Amino acid sequence: MRHAVLILSIVFLARSLAGGQDAPATQPTVSRQEYEQLLRRQERMQQEIDRLKAERPEPTTRPATPTPESEAVTHQDLDDLEKEISRIGDQVHSALPGSEHLVIAGDAAIGFVNQQKTNSTFFAGVSPLFLWEPTDRLLFETAFDVNISTDTDNNSSTSFDLTIADASFVVNDWLIVGGGLFVVPFGQYHNHFDPPWINKLPDDPLVFSDGGIASSSEVGIFARGAVGVFESSKLTYDLYLTNGPNLIVKDPAAAGSLNFQDFTDLNNGKAVGGRIGFLPMPSLEVGYSAQFAQTAPSGFGRNVDAFLQAVDANFVREIRPIGGVLTLRAEWVFTDVSRATYDPNGKLGFGPISFGNYRHGGYFLAAYRPTLSSNAYLRNLEFVVRYDMQHVPLAAPGGEHEQRWALGVDYWVTPSAVLKLAYEIDDKKLGPDQNAFFVQFGIGL
């Protein structure tokens, strides 16, 4: 009977927690102090339930004739009560304003770079990310980059670049739709690997850098999701319709290049694209991306189409024979822009110039971290090597064939904080080589 009395007491406390769930909407919300008191009471009840379960083991056979004590409390009763208390605790937790529907995250980095042909310098930047979930199906997110810099005229400034501002709606378990300014799923790097506490080297691969040939953030609408295809395999998909990249036609140093920051479209053509990813096992993903767009601004005189493609692969797994985690990543990008003539009348001072505009490049990265080592300091080290390259037609303004090797050593202070040292060996066909030494501390907020 002691168990029965205790169960009744717990039920009474649970009801007192849930008493306000049917109250009018004008009832005051739970204060922080009241919320913490209710959580402590819930924890005490959970501890008592666990103790009762330990004292009353499950019988191997159910008695033919129930005894009064077996009728008073059963394991099923305790399980049901545990679920009820958990549900009430979730209700109390959600009643506290701001406790779970707004999340501030992001990343930050500080560092030092010494590159040939340029001045060595320290650098710093922060990228806050705001996530707001007003309902279980609706999500708003926004992010921006804040960096400091000084130009050649000794003018210091702080740059503020909005990189994400979109809304998503969860339709069902395999479909999410949304729109706004979002990172397009072209390859994997910008969507998954470029934050400084995830990127294993201090700089971006050439094709995904500021002067690269891959799409980044664009404005439009999207749909994405994932479905299971085999017992342990998964297929992911992304589709989008955006303003697309704009063809640069008036800059003598960049004519023929694509401007991916097309926040306001300069023509009536839109870009359509997507990515298909396949995970044959949890440790491996391969993907194919494509985007087609009309890129010439209105008044250029002719349509200039761009067809972008990318293939990617990512493998991460702890392998006991080598005593640690092996990471292998590779991405390759191909862009084909229609042949066009720039500054046909020579009014801009650099034409007429006509060329085909096929560009390609990519990177391969390998990293090893001895996570199974008996030495704590060695377990936190990671050794990284990356090869990357980019080919821009030599006949085009800014044309170059460049390739680099980067060697790095990372020390993981925490799972989201890393100190990186790297040396990069640069090789250019036309311009001067720019070997560089980097130090960077990246942290996830």
What is the reported pLDDT for 325? 97
In this predicted structure, the answer to whether residue 85 has a pLDDT above a threshold of 80 is: no
Measure the CA–CA gap between 143 and 134, rounded to whole angstroms. 18
State residue 405's pLDDT score: 98
Residue 11 has what pLDDT? Answer: 46
The per-residue pLDDT for 153 is 73
Which residue type is seen at 370? Answer: P
Mean pLDDT is lowest, of 70-74, 236-240, 295-299, for 70-74
Beta bridge partners of 360: 334, 391
Token readout for 398 is: 């800014």
Residues 413, 415, 418, 422, CA torsion sign: positive
On whether the pTM is more than 0.85, the answer is no
d(CA 105, CA 130): 6
d(CA 142, CA 162): 8
Which DSSP category does 59 fall into?
A: P
Closest by CA to 273, choosing from 185, 361, 144, is 185
Q: Tell which phi-psi region holds residue 253, choosing left (phi > 0), alpha (psi between -120 and 50) or beta.
A: alpha
User: In the prediction, which pLDDT does 301 show?
Assistant: 75
Which residue would you say has higher pLDDT here, 411 or 38? 411
| Per-residue pLDDT tens over the stretch 350-392 | 888 888 889 999 999 999 999 999 999 999 999 999 999 999 9
Query: Which residue type, as a one-letter code, is found at position 1?
Result: M
pLDDT in tens, 3-46: 444 444 544 444 444 444 444 444 445 555 666 666 667 677 77
Position 264 pLDDT exceeds 80? yes
Nearest Cα residue to 91 out of 14, 160, 27: 14
Answer for the pair 402, 365: CB distance below 8 angstroms, yes or no.
no
Which pLDDT does position 89 carry in this prediction?
Answer: 66
| pLDDT for residue 156 | 80
Q: Which long-range contacts (CB under 8 A, 24 or more apart) does 406-410 make?
A: 406/201, 406/203, 408/200, 408/201, 408/202, 408/383, 408/384, 408/438, 409/381, 409/382, 409/383, 409/384, 410/200, 410/367, 410/381, 410/382, 410/383, 410/384
How big is the chain, counted in residues? 445
Chain centroid, CA 277 distance in Å: 15
CB neighbours of 326 closer than 8 A, spacing ≥ 6? 315, 316, 317, 318, 319, 366, 367, 368
Structure tokens at 166: 């979109």
Which of 64-73, 184-193, 265-274, 283-292 shows the lowest per-residue confidence on average (mean pLDDT)?
A: 64-73
The partner residues of 289 in beta bridges, in order of sequence, read 275, 310
Give the residue carrying structure tokens 């666990």.
50
Single-letter code of the amino acid located at 349: G
User: Per-residue pLDDT tens for 44-60?
Assistant: 777 777 766 666 555 54
Query: Who's near 432: CB < 8 A, 6+ residues apart?
Result: 116, 117
DSSP 372: T
Q: Decide if pLDDT at 436 tops 80.
A: yes
Which residue in this structure is represented by tokens 């501890």? 47
Q: Is the distance from CB of 46 to CB of 78 less than 8 angstroms?
A: no
What is the number of other CB atoms lying within 10 angstroms of the CB of residue 388?
A: 24
* Most distant CA atoms of the chain, gap in Å: 102
Is the pLDDT score of 138 beyond 80? yes
Q: In this predicted structure, what is the pLDDT of residue 112?
A: 96
Q: What is the model's pLDDT at position 18? A: 44
Q: What are phi and psi of 185, to 5 degrees?
A: -80, 70
Report how far residue 111's alpha carbon sits from residue 298's, in angstroms, rounded to the nearest whole number: 42
More confident residue, 154 or 273: 273
CB distance 379 to 373 below 8 Å: yes
Average predicted confidence (pLDDT) for the chain: 85
- At 267, which amino acid appears? N
Q: CB under 8 Å to 10, separation ≥6 — which residues?
A: 45, 48, 49, 81, 85
Q: Pick the residue with more confidence: 326 or 357?
A: 326
Residue 177: predicted pLDDT:
97
pLDDT score at 317: 96
DSSP code, position 47: H
CB contact at 8 A, 337 and 295: yes
Q: What mean pLDDT is predicted for residues 409-424?
A: 97
400 pLDDT higher than 70: yes
- pLDDT score for 346: 86
Q: Three-class SS string for 161-224?
A: EEEEEEEEEEEECCEEEEEEEEECCCCCHHHHHCCCCCCCCCCCCHHHCCCCCCCCEEEEEEEE
Token pair recorded at residue 423: 């040396």
Task: Dump pLDDT digits (tens) for 191-226.
Answer: 999 999 999 999 999 999 988 999 889 999 999 999
CA 334 to mean position of chain CA atoms: 23
